[in-house]
Structure 1
Amino acid sequence: MSLNVVLSVVVCTHNRADDALECLRVLHEQIDYATSEVILVDSASSPVQQQHLQSGVADLERPVYVRLEEAGLSLARNSGLAQCKGEWIAFVDDDAVPDPNWYEKLLLVLRKAPGDWGAIGGRIVPIFPVSGSPNLEPRWKRYLSINDTVGSRDCTAKFELIAANSCFRRAALDAVSGFPTELGRSKASLLSGEDVLVMWRIRRLGWKIWYDGSFCVGHKIPRERLTKRWVRARAYWEGISAIRMARLLDDRVRVGFVLKAALATPVLAVLSILMPKGNEWDLRFWYDLGVVIESFGFGPKSSGA
């Protein structure tokens, strides 16, 4: 590892070249390449998208381009991690737009970070495709990777970090072998939880997790993610992700967790009929349904199913 590289910024993308290059250009205007680096991981984008990415990266000159022939978010993050030279690794989603002072603010946080901080989550504000802010339930906002709270606080006990705008100490990620490829978006599924599993694992090793709202990104929200059909599917996959994560953690409390979901599902099913779609009760029903189906072996056989 090069001692003079403090921060490595990794952007992973799959078939969103325009968004990824916008993110890269905003970062490029801020980054001091004497102490930091930017790595774009192309996660098996189509040939047309690949060419667009390569051309855009070549125009900027300094970012590093990495091409993968197999898609998968965790795989892409791990590939980016393998290329990094920094003590800290920041991950920014390809559809995120960092604030103009994102880099400066993050470096200020890193300079004061104690040696036991393993991860730091930043603020994420939505960029909606329509004028005004739609009235979304808290669970719906969470599924959109929105965390627009301000301030700075220890969130080791209750995670607030969202990987769309996050920074991990390299030593902490190495200690848990990076992101689990059994979780994370792949193909057409909405499987998630890879960042949460990493936090569980580094917490068990004694690392602390912090939230700091000073370094912020805007996160583009596609129009389809404001539909009730999408958010119900997202809640269902969140339940599947929770059980797969518990298995990987060998979590013994899973039995009680599943039993609670099984008992609640019939009641929530009634409430989901009576309440508007996308309501908290409705989304809790779809989440618990995913928990139950996956627990009893009826879930999809792979993340891409």
Structure 2
Amino acid sequence: MAAKLFTPYTIKGLTLKNRIVMAPMCMYSSHNQDGRVQNWHRTHYTTRAVGQVGLIIVEATAVTPQGRISPEDLGIWSEDHIEGLQELTGLVKENGAKIGIQLAHAGRKAVLDGEIIAPSAIAFNEKSKIPKEMTLEDIKETVAAFKDGAERAKKAGFDVIEIHGAHGYLIHEFLSPLSNKRKDQYGGSAENRYRILREVIDAVKTVWDGPLFVRVSAHDYTEGGLSPEDYIRFAKWMKEQGVDLVDVSSGAVVPAHIHTYPGYQVPYSETIRNGADISTGAVGLITSPVHAEEILENNRADLVFLARELLRDPYWPRRAAKELGVSLESPKQYERGWNI
């Protein structure tokens, strides 16, 4: 039987040639600090397309200048960003992969000059800046910025949009009771803490009808924080709103000790997938092709997201194919080196 890792996967009319996804990873390489695509991005992402990754998700891309994690982040807050992103999507597609983009706002974890914003005026840690508690107008403007970012992503030719709701950034800060102490309609109950994500999803869907993913941190690893069971409820709401896949990561809303090991987040993906009956992606120190295959064969996830392993080896899909006994078509230019 063919390895499931190398079977096509279709989601909302988009067919990926395999189940291997490059997870979004910040490159901090817009050194002119205007959020534009640089040669590094062109080389970095295109190389993974040549390496036969099925779907490449571009790093956290800020929907506002204030929403950058660092001054070197990519941006999508301006029409001026479309040209570079369009070039990037063209290069990746030309080399056989599909391409997505992660729309993001860093919230209180932004390391920038000037004011930063968050659901509550609580710093991430003792070394971090205290953010301004967002007004209702701030929230409205931020939701609109995600919508505008989605519209630009469509113009730039992306196949998939992923909303960043993980890793302690703005949307995760609203979701978690550890960072959201608001007393209004955006705080308190699970429904209220989910409200901004609900509004972002609804706003994005007014301009985007392609596959829509949401990345979540399914465990806060701290007493009083969120657990995978909490995310079953959130994922059910996402599914009702038309989200196609939940990309399941964990942690980083507060400083916490996390015991990591290969596949340590896969059980969270499995819990959400089964509990909410929604497609999921598994990520977290997945390096072995056999491990990736096991995750898919046992229906613990629908897609396998690789991060640092694809930094180490852009041609990991080729190694995986050889190990799993799959004949993988090589780029014509590389046939004399690959087909041996």
TM-score (norm 1): 0.28
Q: Which has the higher contact order (CA 8 A, sep 6+)?
A: 1
- Decide which structure has greater helix share: 1
- Decide which structure has greater strand share: 1
